[in-house]
Amino acid sequence: MSETTQKLRDGPNLDKENVVLEVDTLRKTFGGLVATNDASFQVEKGTITGLIGPNGAGKSTLFNLITGFYEEDSGRVTVNGVDVTDAEPHEVAEEGLIRTFQTPRKLEGMTVREAMLVGAQDQIGESFVSLFTRPGEVAEQERKTLEDAHRILEEFEIGHLAAQSATDLSGGQMKLVELARAMLAEPEVLLLDEPVAGVNPTLANKLRDQIARLNEQGVTFCIIEHDMDFIMNLADPIIVLDQGSVLVEGPPDAVRNDDRVIDAYLGGPGE
Amino acid sequence: MTETDARPSVTSDPRGYWAALTGAERGVAAFVAAMLVLLLWGLVSGGLGPTYFMYLVGLVGMYILLSFGLNVQWGYAGLINFSVAAFFGLGAYGTALLTATSSPLTGGMDPILGFFPVPIVGIFVGLGLAAVLAVVIGIPTLRLRADYLAIASLGLAEVVRLVMLNQRDWTNGSAGLRGIPGFFDVWPVIGDLPQTLPELRFQELEVGLPGVWTTRILGFTIGESFWSQTMNVLLVTVFVAVTYLVLRRVHQSPWGRVLRTIRSDEDLAEALGKDTYSLKMQSFVLGSVIMALAGVFYAHLNLFVSPGDLNPINTFYVWIAVILGGSGSNRGAMFGGFVIIAIQEGTRFIGGALPESLPIDMPSFLGFVESTYTTVVDNFASTRLLAVGIIIILVMRYRPEGVLPPQRELIWPSAARTADVSGGVVTGSQVDDSPGPDDEGQRAHDGVEDTVHDADDATDDVESTGGTDAADGNQPDGGTDATDGADANAGDDATRGGDDDE
């Protein structure tokens, strides 16, 4: 096709190069309700891809399908060419697809630092036997992870929270910690589910700066967000979901002014 | 950082050590000390036979093991297991069926090849049975939410008990298995030790101020039965110590950390790439095997097992021990096990020690006071469930996290110590410097105020020092001292209920 990515297009752009996450005709029904209706889209490496849509458009369901928390009725998900359609959530994560949750998950009885350390992947010390057979390696890896955790917390300007109880954080701080923890996992793609929902504007700006910074370092993002200012200033391209499938995809300005998008949000004619 | 920064050693600086303890730790230490004084008095005054005393110490050790086991499942991973008694019973029956003279299966095996003691095989049989059952029940339930395991395990406990009761060809049914040898009875050399050790006779003494108040003390003999109970105590001390060392290593590690994450939020653990099913299974099997170890010990302590030992009440005693002590904390589990025995046996003795009728003559219209008193004293032993109930209500109301909640960060101690982390390694103050995952001074987390306090301290640190190695100066001292206290206690005091420090 000759269309450039600068223009808005009907449905998803499926001709991207360097695709890191590909969703192919995913379908999920809950009883009679079609939550995800043959949705397809691609996330290109190095981008921040925004995923927007009115309430009930199926954004969170899509995330849960991609990350293995829901079983899809049909369709395919691949990460870097690896099929993860039927994988367990932890197997999806091992392929480099890390997600955050809409409501931040608090870890009872853990400090921020401990909560961070859980994000690290491929830990020798997570094998019961290795704790006894390879204690030296465990210690070495743990030391490195701990230093990384502190470094990342410092980069997020929340180093002072390291020793604080994870349950004492504000919602915004928790979101920052979640993002920081996800970075410890060194993900290929980071799926963020409403990163600034319920976060005050100052912290939201901070989050946006952090996401932009990480993106410059080469992390690919796919973000669900309702806050239009936030997502429009951050993501490109924007994918608009409506009624379980992709309505349009394009750059923020084009999406913002598109009648169909406005109709979808305001409950216009549609179908 | 925290006031526990350079934790004083209990040996070189007892006063400083005491000052560094949290309120709860002092309370526990005082309680345990008071119990020990009471026990010693009972021993000296002849109210408590020395052999029976050693038997009680053995039981404390057994409850500590059971609490350890449940703590691994519930305290670490949040798994609700209501079949503690079943795994305990499998351990007990596993070894009993092999060694008991009345066993319908083996009729009491002779030492293998003439010298290898069968109880050692019994350990493996008991633990193996428990591990297999844990896997079998874990496969269908651990993939589901926590409640399913709770329900399934509740049923499992009854199934196991009823099998023991009704499968007479194998287990003798309700008659139970008699003639289990002591653990060391059939060992070469060691087995004869109780007979060969000298008999000690303590003459009865009259002490006190003549004419004012006197009492008779001592007047008992320490003989063969005492020595064999002492060997049981040594055995359970080894079991507890080994279990404790294993648990300490695995808890403060990435493994323990992921389990705590699962306990808190399983979806999050999955999203972070952790195979929660596998980890839950590991924790479930490990806990069950520890429970079975307690069962093996019980069989050789009590020399008789019956289906009554698998009654559900035993499961709930262990639950109470863990909740009371503090879920997720090993020393809490020790304390809980100790308290359970204190209640079970204490109610028995207090009932006997109280005067049978009210020592004051009441006017006749207050006769109901007298009759109530008599009823209570006559049935004092049955107040133990009441006592347990009241304790649980009080703990839940005033200290839902338990008396000695976990206070450590689950970070591999040697790594936490050596990590070069800006703002001062706060873990440096909490971690000792012996190799491997070892003891550490405690985080001052003792409820919410302290948590906030901790955070403030951390902030202060960053502001005041801003340096890289701010805390380094303090580390070696604090660490070493913590270890001293810990190692002495881990071995020696394990059976007493870990009174002061882990």
ipTM, two decimals, is 0.89
Q: How far is CA B130 from CA B89, B171, B174, B291, B305, in A?
A: 9, 17, 21, 8, 16
pLDDT by position in tens, chain B (length 502): 333 344 566 666 777 777 777 777 888 888 888 888 887 877 777 677 788 888 888 999 999 999 999 999 999 999 999 999 999 999 999 999 988 888 877 777 777 766 777 888 889 999 999 999 999 999 988 888 778 888 999 999 999 999 999 988 888 888 888 888 888 877 777 777 777 777 777 777 676 777 777 666 666 777 777 888 888 899 999 999 999 999 999 998 999 999 999 998 899 999 999 999 999 999 999 999 999 999 999 999 999 999 999 998 899 999 999 998 888 888 888 899 888 888 888 777 776 667 777 777 767 777 778 788 888 777 777 777 888 888 889 888 888 888 888 877 888 887 777 776 654 444 433 333 333 333 333 333 333 333 333 333 333 333 333 333 333 333 333 333 333 333 333 333 333 333 333 3
B304/A contact by beta carbon, under 8 A: no
B423:A159 CB<8 A: yes
HEC sequence for chain A? CCCCCCCCEECCCCCCCCEEEEEEEEEEEECCEEEEEEEEEEEECCCEEEEECCCCCCHHHHHHHHCCCCCCCEEEEEECCEECCCCCHHHHHHCCEEECCCCCCCCCCCEHHHHHHCCCCCCHHHCCCHHHHCHHHHHHHHHHHHHHHHHHHHHCCCHHHCCCEHHHCCHHHHHHHHHHHHHHCCCCEEEEECCCCCCCHHHHHHHHHHHHHHHHCCCEEEEECCCHHHHHCCCECEEEEECCEEEEEECHHHHHCCHHHHHHHHCCCCC
Verify that B327 and B293 share a domain, yes or no. yes
Verify that B387 and B458 share a domain, yes or no. no
Rounded CA gap, B391 and B408, in Å? 26
pLDDT at B501: 37
Instruction: Let me know: does B366 contact B358? Beta carbons within 8 Å.
Output: no
Structure tokens at B237: 């001390």
Among the partner-chain residues B258, B421, B451, the one whose CB lies closest to the CB of A146 is: B421
B422:A160 CB<8 A: no
Verify that B44 and B56 share a domain, yes or no. no
pLDDT at B490: 37
Q: Tell whether the model's pLDDT for residue A230 goes beyond 70.
A: yes
Burial of A29 (0-12, 13-18, 19+ CB in 10 A): middle
Work out the number of other CB atoms within 10 angstroms of the CB of residue A109: 20
Work out the number of other CB atoms within 10 angstroms of the CB of residue A37: 17
Of A67, A82, A74, nearest to A25 by C-alpha is A74
B458:A164 CB<8 A: yes
Verify that B250 and B393 share a domain, yes or no. yes
Give the gap in angstroms from C-alpha A4 to the nearest C-alpha of chain B: 35
B395/A contact by beta carbon, under 8 A: no
- Residue B17 inside a domain? The answer is yes
pLDDT at A107: 82
Its domain, for residue B470, covers 1-48+408-502
Verify that B287 and B385 share a domain, yes or no. yes
- Residue B215 inside a domain? The answer is no
pLDDT at B9: 63
Exposure string of A220-235, with b = 16+ CB inside 10 Å and e = fewer, is bbbbbbebeebbbebb
Work out the number of other CB atoms within 10 angstroms of the CB of residue B424: 25
Verify that B266 and B171 share a domain, yes or no. yes
- Residue B272 inside a domain? The answer is yes
CATH number at residue B260: 1.10.3470
Summarised one tens digit per residue, pLDDT across range A133-153 is: 888 898 889 999 998 999 999
Which CATH homologous superfamily contains domain A9-106+181-266? P-loop containing nucleotide triphosphate hydrolases (3.40.50.300)
Verify that B370 and B230 share a domain, yes or no. yes
pTM score of the predicted model: 0.82
Strand partners, A239: A51, A249
Would you tell me the crossing angle of helices B312-325 and B50-70 to the nearest 10 degrees?
80
**Parallel, antiparallel, or unpaired for β A245-250 and A9-10?**
antiparallel
pLDDT at B8: 60
For chain B, the C-alpha Rg in angstroms (whole number) is 25
Every domain of chain A and the residues it spans: 9-106+181-266, 108-168
A138:B253 CB<8 A: yes
Contacts of B244 (CB under 8 A, 6+ apart): B68, B330, B490, B494
Verify that B27 and B73 share a domain, yes or no. no
Provide, as residue numbers in chain A, all residues whose Cβ is less than 8 Å from the Cβ of B424.
none
pLDDT at A269: 55
Work out the number of other CB atoms within 10 angstroms of the CB of residue B4: 20
- Residue B214 inside a domain? The answer is no
Verify that B369 and B412 share a domain, yes or no. no
How many domains in chain B? 2
Q: Which has more confidence, B285 or A266?
A: B285
- Residue B209 inside a domain? The answer is no
Q: Which has more confidence, B17 or A3?
A: B17
Provide, as residue numbers in chain B, all residues whose Cβ is less than 8 Å from the Cβ of A109.
260, 264, 328, 405-406
HEC sequence for B219-266? CCEECHHHHHHHHHHHHHHHHHHHHHHHHHHHHCCHHHHHHHHHHHCH
Where among B398, B424, B447 does a domain terminate?
B398
For chain A, the C-alpha Rg in angstroms (whole number) is 19
Summarised one tens digit per residue, pLDDT across range A47-86 is: 999 999 888 888 889 999 999 999 989 999 999 889 999 8
Exposure string of B144-180, with b = 16+ CB inside 10 Å and e = fewer, is eebeebeebbbebbeebbebbbeeeeebbeeebbeeb
Verify that B69 and B23 share a domain, yes or no. no
pLDDT at B450: 36
Instruction: Let me know: does A182 contact A213? Beta carbons within 8 Å.
Output: no
Verify that B59 and B177 share a domain, yes or no. yes
Verify that B116 and B258 share a domain, yes or no. yes
Structure tokens at B145: 């939410």
